[in-house]
Amino acid sequence: MEENSAPSAHSGGELFSLPAGPATLCFDKNEFMKKTFSVDEFLHENRNAGSLEIIRDDLGLYLKVLRSAMIELINQDYADFVDLSANLIGLDQQIEAIGAPLEKLRDEVGQVKNALEGSMSEIANCLEQKKLLRAYKKSLQSLRRVQGSLEKLEGMLLSERKHSIDAILLERAALESIQLQFNIKFCRNFLDDRQQQLAQDLWAELLARLRSYLLRALDETEPKELERCLRIYCTLDECATAEEVFRKEIVAPFMSRVISEASLQNSPQGLTGIYNQILDFVSIRMKQLCQLTKRNGKVKGYNFIVHSFWAEVERRMETNMSSIFAPGNPDAFYQKYKCTLEFLERIEQIIDDADDVEQFKAHAQYRSFQLRWNLPVYFQIRFQEIGSGLEASCSETTTKQLTQTISASQFNVAQFSAALTAISKCWQEGIFLPQLFHRFLKLTLQILARLSVWCEEVFRPAPKKDAENVPQEEETVRIRFLVALYSDLGNIELKIPSIVNLVAEKSPSGVERTELESVIGESGNVFREKRAQLQRLIVQQLIAVSLPPLRQVSDIPRLYRKTNRDVPNRCCPYVEQMLTPTDTFRRSYDSMIVGDEMRSFLIGVYSHVTVQYYQVIDEVLTSVQKTEESLRRLKNLRDRSTTVAPTASSSNDRTAPSDDDKIRLQLQADVLHFVRYVEEQGNVKRQDVEKLAELVQLVDDAIKGRVAISGQPQ
């Protein structure tokens, strides 16, 4: 208990740990050591430990423990408390004794600091003055040099030999001018108005001398003087000035004579002749300049082709010869644009450097020149020219659509020939421009799409106002047109690879052939789907004209009941009538629909007709069987009511075929004839046609069932 009540150092950084209390306390004593201890929280957390009276009693008990621990702590350290109070006697006097020297030392340090700051400020002022003096001295030296340079240049340029051109003198004057401009930067504030004006006059005079020197050097046969002059310009950093001099003095006069509407009208070769004259100018007047200033030439920093030649040519063409940009006449526009492209390519060949060519194409006037050619308007005119013929063909009346065919070897319907012709025009010389590749590709796809839409329109049958008058003729014309359309859909699908080849030959380098095959191939897929749709439509047309004779099957029982007709030995006429449309179709169009395609048509028609035929036969046989059973029941009733023995005639009647047997035999003959005809049509087999085998089995079972009932062979 004594050990627990003694204070001790806490490992967690606290000064003391609380003494242990009785184990029956309703709270944790360590909660008093929390920095965030709150009476309210303490009571809230311990409200369930006991009543307030219990908490009060426990707190009072623990207070006694704390007091006992405090008294014990004082008793243990009493000697230390007494020594501490004794040692503190006289401490104030000692502190006051050492305070005065420290204050004196602080004052002395402050005085030294102030002295140093004053010295540093004085030194900084001196250094600033020295800097200003140096700058002033440098400005004076520069002013002296400027004065000397002005005197030298005045002597060289404004002497009596004012109009003479001496290369050595110009080189010296250029070097001196560079020195003059360099020194002027440092003494500009010290120059008076006269000196500044003199410097400007000397600079202008030097450029005037160089201008004359350049014009003279351009006429020299040897490039030595020209190279020297260009180097002087480059030394002065006035390359642009040299280019401007050449443009105004040499290029502009020549181009003003060559580039004009009058020259365009009078030129025997038209625009090509003018371009040839312009290129001849480059070959003759700019040959030395191009050789000296190209990338691997002797002089760097110039681009006379772009800044002198092309800038002037482009400006003159836009202002003096603007008629070449008019797209109203597409043929003339095409020729002029193609001629211009060749002209630009020859300029690029003259430049003969990839970087310089890129700089030429990036020039603002080059882009402006390209924009002057209104390619969208040209394409729109071509679009109307190409699309109008196809649109006119697709807009023909229904009668013309149903009757108009052409004798061309490729297509039977005029619209397909018009579409292929329109596609060919898109890519032929004289119309197609590489810069409009994507537009012409889109137009090609639009032509194919328009043809597909037209096919969808003509798939819908025309209103049959006169169907009662000439139904067969109209159906024949309709089927003939649909077959021709079916054949042409196959032909246009086969033409897709040729169209891809045509487009690929004209495509730019960045377009892959696989992309073209994918894009144009989608149109081929559309035509394939239209062809399958058209096949179903033709089959429906044939079915529609083949089914009406089936109504005659229901009349067969009336042909044999109570008529005493002979046993049938041939098929009824309705079978031939039912087979005639398909047979006529096969014989008429076997040259347009061949092989498996014709077989597919026949199977489609026969399958549907056979299904309907099966239903009709089944209904008739069922009706015959019911009638026969009714008659048998009536006969049995009569036999029971009479006891007369059967006569010989009645016995003979049993052996002879009944009317119902004749009906079954007639149906069997009709079905067998139908089946034989179907199986004779090329590669059509019985199992290929839906319900055909079941139809044969149906009539066979009817005959066998009758034999089984009568017990006599047929």
30: burial class by Cβ within 10 Å (0-12, 13-18, 19+)? Answer: exposed
Q: Which residue ranges make up each domain of the chain?
A: 167-370, 377-461+476-511, 549-629+659-705
Report CA dihedral (604, 605, 606, 612) to the nearest 10 degrees: 110
To the nearest whole percent, how much of the chain has pLDDT over 90?
13
Euclidean distance between CA atoms 524 and 219, whole angstroms: 66
Euclidean distance between CA atoms 290 and 283, whole angstroms: 9
Cβ atoms of 675 and 610 within 8 Å: the answer is no
pLDDT in tens, 87-117: 777 777 878 888 888 888 888 899 999 999 9
Mention every residue, 6+ apart, whose C-beta is less than 8 A from residue 547. 578, 609, 612
Euclidean distance between CA atoms 415 and 393, whole angstroms: 6
Average of per-residue pLDDT across 311-331: 88
- Closest Cα partner for 352 from 291, 432, 265, 272? 291
Instruction: Compute how many other C-beta atoms are within 10 angstroms of the C-beta atom of residue 517.
Output: 16
pTM, whole model, 2 decimals?
0.67
pLDDT of residue 706: 61
pLDDT of residue 10: 41
Which position has the higher pLDDT, 518 or 399? 518
pLDDT of residue 7: 41
Backbone phi and psi for residue 89, each to the nearest 5 degrees, phi listed first: -75, 130
pLDDT in tens, 452-471: 999 888 887 655 544 334 45
* 610 CA to centre of own chain: 52
Instruction: Give the burial string for 266-291 (b: 16+ CB within 10 Å, else e).
Output: ebeebbbbbbebbeebbeebbebbbe
Among 57-61, 218-222, 378-382, 510-514, name the most confident range. Answer: 378-382
Q: Which helix (H) or strand (E) holds 539?
A: helix 513-546
The number of CA neighbours under 13 Å toward the Cβ of 163 is 0
Average of per-residue pLDDT across 521-529: 90
Cβ atoms of 247 and 308 within 8 Å: the answer is yes
Average of per-residue pLDDT across 528-556: 88
Backbone phi and psi for residue 547, each to the nearest 5 degrees, phi listed first: -80, -30
Helices (H), 185-238: 193-218, 224-235
